[in-house]
């Protein structure tokens, strides 16, 4: 409860412009490691990144497949009905 009150009050003080933001910037900017920022170990983070890349490749391949199917159908219908 005290933490909640402290964050609410500090946010209000920041919004008013009385300062207090410089101290929190120092605390938050302590780690530049993305794994630590996500709360994972380095190995877990690397595995997570690999999984995300694989999923993105699968989505891109599915999108390309659908795009090619639509283009093929469009060409077929244009030829059939002699559309420009």
Q: Where are the domains of the chain?
A: 1-81
| The pLDDT of residue 82 | 86
Average pLDDT, whole number, for the chain?
80
Higher pLDDT, 80 or 67: 67
Give the C-alpha separation, 65 to 46, whole Å.
Answer: 29
Higher pLDDT, 5 or 50: 50
CA distances from 5 to 1, 10, 15, 24 (A): 6, 8, 15, 16
Q: What is the pLDDT of residues 24-52, one digit of tens each?
A: 544 555 557 887 888 889 999 999 999 99
């Amino acid at each position: 409860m005290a933490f909640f009150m402290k964050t609410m009050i500090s946010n209000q003080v920041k919004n008013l412009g009385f300062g207090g933001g410089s101290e929190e910037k120092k605390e938050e900017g302590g780690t530049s490691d993305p794994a630590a920022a996500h709360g994972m170990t380095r190995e877990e983070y690397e595995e997570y990144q690999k999984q995300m890349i694989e999923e993105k490749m699968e989505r891109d391949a599915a999108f390309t497949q659908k795009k090619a199917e639509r283009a093929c159908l469009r060409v077929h219908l244009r030829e059939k009905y002699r559309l420009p």
